[in-house]
Amino acid sequence: MTQKFQTRFKLTLDDFSALNTAYCRLTWPRRIGRYLNAFMIALMIAGIGFSLWVANDVAIAVYFAFIAAFLLLLEFVATSWRQRRSFEHQRLGEFEVEMAADAEGFTSRSEMADGRMKWAAIRHVDDLANHVILWPNNRIGWIVPKRAFATPAEADAFAQFAKEKTAGQKL
């Protein structure tokens, strides 16, 4: 029995943010970068405590606080601003996307572009809580929101189908 899937959806900023989060965790160097950033923030906070309670040096504590605040600002403010700006600039939320998948591959169509991708080109599938992301390489991803399917079971069936079609392929 051949499975076929068809969806229609408009992307939202939350969808784009999920894609960016998955992108940052897709490869081990990116994961290490995220861990290093978290480690540096924790180190700066520990430095504040050390400089205040052990060294009794307020100037160094202020220095560490400034660096920690700057890193937190980059992590939470600059990243969300960049994602929002990129989403708007690319006009991703303006057009409805039609996506269809079958045994050979999938097509994606909107007013901006259309194309067909064979399953052999998809190197990795992320099955997230609210999205399925199809990765042909570690820089490009197609995001399919699970809300685009008629039922959660159909969304899960699509995710399983995509994983079966790309089994054994690696980034």
65-85 burial: b if 16+ Cβ within 10 Å, else e: bebbeebeeeeeeeeeeebee
What region does 56 belong to: left with phi over 0, alpha with psi -120 to 50, or beta? left
Question: Using CA atoms, how far apart are residues 2 and 30, in angstroms rounded to an integer?
Answer: 37
Q: What is the pLDDT of residue 2?
A: 62
Cα–Cα distances in Å, from 18 out to 7, 55, 101, 133?
A: 19, 43, 21, 9
Q: What is the pLDDT of residue 7?
A: 95
* Sheet of strand 96-101, all strands in order from the earlier edge strand to the far edge: 5-10, 96-101, 105-109, 114-118
Q: What is the pLDDT of residue 171?
A: 84
In terms of Cβ atoms closer than 10 Å to its own Cβ (0-12, 13-18, 19+), residue 98 is middle
Asked if residue 143 lies in contact with residue 131, where contact means CB atoms within 8 angstroms, the answer is yes
Amino acid at 120: A
Instruction: Determine the Cα angle at 168 with ends 170 and 135, to 5°.
Output: 40
Q: What is the pLDDT of residue 141?
A: 94
pTM for this predicted structure: 0.84
Domain boundaries, the chain: 5-18+94-165, 26-89
* Calculated CA dihedral for residues 28, 11, 122, 85, nearest 10 degrees: -40
CATH 2.30.29.30 fits 5-18+94-165, yes or no: yes
pLDDT tens series, the chain, 171 aa = 468 999 999 999 999 999 999 999 999 999 999 999 999 999 999 999 999 999 899 999 999 999 999 999 999 999 999 999 999 999 999 999 999 999 999 999 999 889 999 999 999 999 999 999 999 999 999 999 999 999 999 999 999 999 999 998 988
